[in-house]
């Protein structure tokens, strides 16, 4: 198993003078490493971008197990509220668990647009998430990520973030998704949903479930073939993804950038 975990403990802001803000949220156990390139790119496109590490992320798996889903919700709500004092327009982008948090934000803030990538609402391992995580998280703190992948590839995967799933944290992800699923019909802002056919962690049915559940009149699916779960890092589809997100945000916010 490769050991380069690709963790970044730093927070990032780009193009601070723009009043067209984009808040970008990373996934569970990951860090701003997976968002930095997208944030930097959108900064060159005229947006003010901000991406911060969620509580318990960009540090250690032990710390991740100390936080609950309400901590993550409070954190992103505070960040977007702060951005609203500086910007005339605000959009959110989330990936994986970050997409779930972005969905929550879409139900309580008057956002101009939202992008949900690698949506994680329906679990690949339903028994593990719905039954084992609630039962065992007090006794088993971690599980190696490699066991979430087929045997023939797991030893060659270069994992992002922590090499383990913090089980108490995973149980909090379950609580978060259960809550947000009930709120999806409240989402009415323009939405772009992005997914890769090569995603090994989240099923394509997540895309259809989210698309059919939200109430947005302006909603669009964008599917690529070659990127993995972490859509925003370097991959064969990265340029297409970045260009599509930029174009969508510009159209949704009616900018003249």
- The reported pLDDT for the residue numbered 116 is 98
Q: What is the dihedral of CA 143, 205, 184, 170, to 10 degrees?
A: 0
Digit-coded pLDDT (tens) for 223-234:
999 999 999 999
- The string of pLDDT tens digits covering residues 20-61 is 999 999 999 999 999 999 999 999 999 999 999 999 999 999
Tell me which CATH code domain 12-253 carries: 3.40.50.1820
Residue matched to tokens 């992948």: 149
CB atoms near residue 124 (< 10 Å): 14
Residues with Cβ within 8 Å of 212's Cβ and at least 6 positions away in sequence, in order, are: none
What's the pLDDT at 156?
Answer: 67
User: DSSP state, 182?
Assistant: T
- Residue 196 β-bridge partners: 224
> How confident is the model at residue 257, as a pLDDT?
41
CA quadruple 28, 213, 182, 247: dihedral sign: positive
Residue partners of 177: CB distance under 8 A and separation at least 6: 100, 120, 121, 123
Three-point CA angle 143, 200, 7, nearest 5°:
55
pLDDT value, residue 137: 66
The Cα–Cα gap between 130 and 143 comes to 15
**Domain range list for the chain:** 12-253
226 close to 237: Cβ distance less than 8 angstroms? yes
What tens-digit pLDDT sequence spans the chain (257 residues)? Answer: 344 468 999 999 999 999 999 999 999 999 999 999 999 999 999 999 999 999 999 999 999 999 999 999 999 999 999 999 999 999 999 999 999 999 999 999 999 999 999 999 987 665 556 666 666 767 788 888 877 777 777 676 777 899 899 999 999 999 999 999 999 999 999 999 999 999 988 889 999 999 999 999 999 999 999 999 999 999 999 999 999 999 999 999 885 34
Rounded to an integer, what distance in angstroms lies between the CA atom of residue 255 and that of residue 257? Answer: 5
């Amino acid at each position: 198993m490769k050991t380069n975990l690709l963790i970044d403990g730093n927070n990032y802001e780009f193009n601070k003078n723009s009043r067209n803000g984009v808040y970008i949220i990373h996934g569970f156990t990951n860090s701003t490493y997976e968002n930095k390139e997208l944030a930097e790119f959108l900064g060159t496109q005229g947006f003010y971008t901000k991406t911060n590490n969620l509580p318990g992320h960009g540090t250690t798996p032990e710390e991740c197990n100390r936080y609950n889903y309400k901590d993550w919700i409070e954190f992103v709500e505070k960040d977007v509220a702060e951005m609203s004092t500086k910007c005339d327009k605000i959009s959110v982008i989330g990936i994986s668990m970050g997409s779930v948090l972005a969905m929550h934000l879409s139900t309580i803030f008057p956002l101009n647009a939202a992008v949900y990538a690698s949506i994680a609402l329906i679990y690949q391992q339903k028994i593990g998430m719905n039954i084992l995580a609630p039962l065992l998280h007090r006794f088993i703190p971690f599980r190696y990520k490699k066991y979430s992948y087929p045997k023939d590839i797991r030893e060659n995967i270069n994992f992002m973030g922590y090499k383990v799933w913090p089980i108490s944290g995973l149980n909090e992800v379950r609580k978060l998704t259960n809550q947000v699923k009930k709120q999806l019909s409240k989402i009415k802002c323009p939405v772009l949903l992005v997914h890769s056919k090569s995603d090994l962690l989240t099923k394509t049915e997540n895309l259809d479930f989210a698309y059919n559940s939200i109430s947005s009149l302006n909603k669009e699916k964008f599917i690529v073939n070659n990127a993995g779960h972490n859509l925003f890092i370097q991959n064969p589809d990265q340029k297409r993804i970045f260009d599509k997100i930029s174009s969508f945000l510009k159209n949704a916010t009616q900018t003249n950038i």
